[in-house]
């Protein structure tokens, strides 16, 4: 179980040690997902499943997404967990094929709520779930002075370390890479950028569209 005292490296080990237990539980879902996809009239279609592993008692949330009806056979899976520390709720997302995790601290979801959702009625956990439901991967780049100046403009009181910036389907994220762990610290929207900043970020968005075209057959 993920506990507040764990380091990010210990969290990585914890969730990947639990992978085999999760895979066993995931085998229970395809038939149920197929049933819902075949009934759906709206796509992309996403259904969320929750699994608590028996041995370690970790709660994993898995979004199964079909881009169209025939995709019930090959759904896109988003796997993440939610855990708490005294400062609030965190999320840890898994990239199983790359043996990587991305950790999202409470500050990220505060910014997501105010800058992207623009809705204060959602609970912290609802905000987290909405983020992952609407997430279609990211295209990243190493932070240079230009990217860092944008970050400092919107996070002027921050002394956070940065090493990457990434475009995703909802905006642009900034964070720090520690080996096979990404710590995603904040997010900004397209509309927050000044005109002279947009070409720099549009290049990242174009890369994301190309990647999604290759992965899913659509730029989403």
Instruction: For residue 176, give Cα distances in angstroms to 1, 32, 104, 113.
Output: 24, 38, 11, 21
The DSSP string of 24-35 is HHHTTSHHHHHH
pLDDT at residue 30, as a whole number: 86
User: From CA 76, how far away is CA 177, in angstroms rounded?
Assistant: 25
Q: Which residues pair with 84 in a beta bridge?
A: 89
What does the angle CA 137 – CA 77 – CA 163 come to, to the nearest 5 degrees? 30
pLDDT at residue 220, as a whole number: 65
Q: Where are the alpha helices (DSSP H) in the chain?
A: 8-17, 19-26, 30-39, 106-112, 124-133, 145-154, 198-216
User: From CA 105, how far away is CA 90, in angstroms rounded?
Assistant: 5
pTM for the whole thing? 0.93
pLDDT at residue 28, as a whole number: 78
SS3 category, 44? coil
Check whether the bond before 44 is cis (ω within 30° of 0). yes
Q: What is the pLDDT of residues 22-75, one digit of tens each?
A: 888 888 788 899 999 999 999 999 999 999 888 888 989 999 999 999 888 889
pLDDT at residue 35, as a whole number: 95
pLDDT at residue 130, as a whole number: 96
pLDDT at residue 17, as a whole number: 94
Which residue positions in the chain have pLDDT lower than 70?
219-220
């Amino acid at each position: 179980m993920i506990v507040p005292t764990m380091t990010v490296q210990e969290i990585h080990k914890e969730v990947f040690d639990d992978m085999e237990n999760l895979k066993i539980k995931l085998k229970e879902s395809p038939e149920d997902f197929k049933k819902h996809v075949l009934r759906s009239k709206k796509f992309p279609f996403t259904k969320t499943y929750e699994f608590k592993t028996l041995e370690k008692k970790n709660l994993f949330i898995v979004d199964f997404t079909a881009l169209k009806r025939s995709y019930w056979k090959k759904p896109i899976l988003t796997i993440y967990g939610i855990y708490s520390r005294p400062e609030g709720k965190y999320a840890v997302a898994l990239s199983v094929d790359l043996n990587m995790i991305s950790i999202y601290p409470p500050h990220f979801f505060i910014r997501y709520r105010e800058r992207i959702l623009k809705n204060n009625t959602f609970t912290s956990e609802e905000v987290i779930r909405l983020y992952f439901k609407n997430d279609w991967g990211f295209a990243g780049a190493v932070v240079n002075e230009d990217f860092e100046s944008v970050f400092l403009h919107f996070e002027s009181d921050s002394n956070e370390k940065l090493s990457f910036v990434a475009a995703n389907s909802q905006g642009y994220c900034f964070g720090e890479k520690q080996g096979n762990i990404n710590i995603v610290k904040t997010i900004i929207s397209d509309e927050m950028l000044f005109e002279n900043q947009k070409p720099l970020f549009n290049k990242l968005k174009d890369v994301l569209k190309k990647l999604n075209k290759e992965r899913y057959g659509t730029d989403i």
